[in-house]
Amino acid sequence: MKLSVIILNYNVRYFLEQTIVSTRQALKNIDSEIIVVDNDSKDDSCEMMKVRFPEITLIENKENVGFSKANNQAVAIAKGEYICLLNPDTAVTADTFRYCLRHAETNKNLGAIGVYMMDGTGNFLPESKRNVPTPKRSLLKLIGMAKNKNSYYAMDIKESENGAVDILAGAFMFMKREVFNEVNGLDDDYFMYGEDIDLSYKIIKAGYTNYYLGGNEILHYKGESTSRDSDYLDRFYGAMKIFYNKHFNPNVMLKTAVNLGIFLVKKFRGNSADKRKRGDKEPKEAYLLTENFQLLKMLSEVIQTPLHSASKAILQDKLYSDTLFIFDTEYMPYSQIFMVMKAQKNRNNRFRIRPPGCNFIVGSDKSDQKGEVIVF
């Protein structure tokens, strides 16, 4: 078998469904499998899996064992020559896995591959490509002074380019299964956050090269599985402490500086997170990109903004503002949807997607808050 796609789920039933349907489309004609691990979700994720996708391997954990342990469980039973760790709040294009395979098959020293990730607003996620987060780089990032080529993010490689990078994001990590096993997989010391940094770093320390591929895009709605609250901050910065102690053996002065920086940022971000609200103006108009008039009728009953059916032609050479776009993936493929989102971003537009064969739309207007699901 060529490829095993591993999806770890926790309480994101509708986003998971979109991830799976887009992944199945992208795996067409590839000898592959999908493995879903559920970390004791309290929603109906597992029931949905059994009804909608009975052919997919489902591991139902009876407790939340964290990111590392759950993914290691799946890799242990995976059959693919390659594996791809994929978040349950993503959507991929029809060419995503073929694109990675083409690059992997021509690179003998391949470590892991990451791709261009955008959030639900169409904006690039800089964690798609990062440098090793040394204590110095991380401290500069914490205080907002990380905007050069030697900073926390790998800014020497353009978003649309391909190139070697140190650190990739766990939302999408593609690699040979034997490389994953050679570096002993994900470290169970990390419950959530930091494990992708640790895995990326172990891979390059083993002599392999990690690559960022900017020529293929995926959608990653951030903040779906966890809230950006004080628990998130504790786990994230706790994970960074584990990473520093494991790989850098910091002295007392460095530990003190790192702990002080973490304390100040947690205090600032914790207070500001409590105050953040959507705050954006409501859309003035809404367009459903589809040829399905029955879908238009059903969505018109649940969308507050007056909804109009439209073709792709309305998007040619025109920028919109204060507009809600709803994309029917049975009319527009994900690759075209992503192009529109990038072109229409940062103009107070909102984007919602109806996955193929589904009775809901999903989207997110802020990468640090939970998104929206509307069932019709």
Quick one: pLDDT at residue 273?
47
**How far is Cα 168 from Cα 85, in angstroms, rounded to an integer?**
11
Residue type, 46: C
pLDDT score recorded for residue 152: 83
Q: How far is CA 220 from the centre of its chain?
A: 4
d(CA 326, CA 287): 6
Asked if residues 72 and 181 have their Cβ atoms less than 8 Å apart, the reply is no
**pLDDT, position 293:** 94
Q: Find the helix or strand (DSSP H, E) in which 324 lies.
A: strand 323-328
5 contacts 23 by C-beta, under 8 angstroms: yes
Please tell me the predicted confidence (pLDDT) of residue 277: 46
Contacts of 145 (CB under 8 A, 6+ apart): none
Q: What DSSP state is assigned to residue 333?
A: -
Q: What tokens were used for 354?
A: 């109806």
Per-residue model confidence (pLDDT) at position 233: 57
pLDDT at position 317 is 84
Parts of the chain with a pLDDT under 50: 272-279
Q: What is the pLDDT of residue 134?
A: 74
Residue-level pLDDT at 122: 97
Alpha carbon distance 242, 13 (integer Å): 31
Q: How high is the pLDDT of residue 258?
A: 61
